[in-house]
Chain A
Amino acid sequence: MIGRLLRRDLVCRQAVELVTDYLEGVLPEPDRERFEAHLRACVGCEEYLRQVRLTIELLGRAEPDDLAPKTRSGLIDLYREFQAQG
């Protein structure tokens, strides 16, 4: 059964749905091999995976959006109130 799965080609439409399991390291071994074999042969899916990785990287280095001044001063007031109460 597994041998048959391994031989059967993965199509791009299926491969893109395995990207997260692959990056999370939870793809079972035969599926991981099949996925990697597909990537080696498929420029489109290789680029897709690269873009998902870049997306993750971009999200990781995004600066937190600036707080609205009112929100920020409200939170600082909250802090001062808290301190004043001891």
Chain B
Amino acid sequence: MATAAREGKTPLLEVKDLKVHFETDDGIVKAVDGISYTVDRGQALGIVGESGSGKSVSSLTVMGLTRSRNAHISGEILFEGRDLLNASDEEMRHVRGNDIAMIFQDPLSSLHPFYKVSTQLVEAVRAHKDVSKAQALDRAVEMLGLVGIPEPRRRVHSYPHEFSGGMRQRVMIAMALANDPKMIIADEPTTALDVTVQAQILELMERLQAELDTAVVIITHDLGVVAEMADEIAVMYAGRIVERAPTRPLFAQPQHPYTWGLLGSIPRLDSPRDEEIVPIPGRPPSLITLPGGCAFHPRCPYVRDRHRKVEPTLEPVEGSPDHRVACLLETGTRRKLWEELQSGKRPDAAREAVALEDRS
């Protein structure tokens, strides 16, 4: 993404300081609280976070799906330079499914159980293209074949319940791709699937992305999925992006204590079996009453007084302009802490080290 900016091209999608706040009886829920990112043509961006981090809401907003009376949306969303935030509902209907398509988590509830797959796919095609039903059906069959459904000519006339979970997700992908969108947003596309089926779907998405040069935004809680799929990763916490970097540096040199926590709390097949997993203490904050200063401070092992008052902004890391982090710790301290974590120290041990450094 930074490359595009340098070359002076307009990115495909540009999100600037997006805020999505919902008014509820309990107060204002700050689901997304000022995030910015860009997606280039053909690029795969991974958005990682836990439930309630705002990763889904931000993407639904790009699709214009969070518009309602109690939602306050501000900032800018530019798709190929077009302002989506202020587009009319009619214009958005044209963008959705045509320029940007979406794949949802649960393939069972996102297909209508009452209609045949053919009906649903034909409708998706004809919503954007002025073609006959027969032509649309041909397109549907072609798409089903592309996503690897055997005997597409016959299977297109099945009902969703006649497909397995993995096959339904393939149908969803076929529907999303039917109008050659420039970008696909996949919201936890494999979470509801078994691991071997997940591998099939990820492989399919990778292949299609390469073949069709579609940009993909993949939203997930699974660090393994983004490691395999994404070119660049944004880590979200409490409605903000706390770290953003190309995939390799993010895993090799993660900068934010929350990212460290995420990496440390999953058991991994590629590390020794007796390695302890270290949970992040506490739980994500309420989005109505966010903690002051850095929103992660109540769970951060390295918190200092200042972090409770000052809000960190997403700044480039010294020495690597593509890597951005929202953390108040010094770059040197962070590097040292990460090295210590790598060598097997628990965060509480490292915390003492930080305190000592403070005194000296």
Do A and B actually bind? no
Residues in chain A within 8 A of chain B (CB atoms)? none
